[in-house]
Amino acid sequence: MITIPRRVTAPGMILFLLCLMYFITYVDRVNVGTAAPAIKAELGLTNTQLGLIFSAFAYPYAVFQIIGGAMADKWGARRTLFICGLVWAASTIATGFVGGVVSLFLVRFILGFGEGATFPTATRAMQSWVPKDQRGFAQGITHSFARFGNAVTPPLVVVMMMHIGWRGAFVVLGVLSFVWVAVWYFYYRDDPRNHKDITQDDLDRLPVREAKAAGPKNPVPWGRLVPRMAPVTITYFCYGWSLWLYLNWLPSFFKDGYGLDIKNSALFASGVFFAGVIGDTLGGVVSDRILKKTGDLQRARRNVICVGMLGAAASLAGVFFTRDLTYVALLLSAGFFFLELVIGPIWSVPMDIAPQYAGTASGLMNFGSAFAAIVSPLTFGWIVDVTGNWILPFAGSIGLLVLGAVMAFTMHPERPFEDAPGTALKGVPAE
pLDDT for the residue 217: 53
pLDDT for the residue 426: 38
pLDDT for the residue 1: 42
Ordered mean pLDDT values, 10 residues apiece, the chain (431 residues): 58 92 85 82 81 82 79 86 93 90 90 86 86 81 84 84 88 92 94 88 71 53 91 96 85 79 76 86 90 90 95 95 89 94 91 86 89 85 85 91 96 82 40 37
pLDDT for the residue 215: 44
pLDDT for the residue 208: 55
Residues 6+ positions from 287 with CB-CB distance below 8 Å:
136, 140, 300, 301, 304, 344, 345, 348
pLDDT for the residue 428: 35
pLDDT for the residue 402: 97
User: How far does Cα 405 stand from its chain's mean position?
Assistant: 19
pLDDT for the residue 106: 92
**Can you list the domains of the chain with their CATH numbers?**
10-410 (1.20.1250.20)
pLDDT for the residue 4: 44
pTM metric for this prediction: 0.74
Residues 6+ positions from 399 with CB-CB distance below 8 Å:
none
Give the integer Cα–Cα distance in Å for 138 and 12: 10
pLDDT for the residue 211: 40
Rounded to a whole number, what is the largest CA-CA distance in the chain? 64
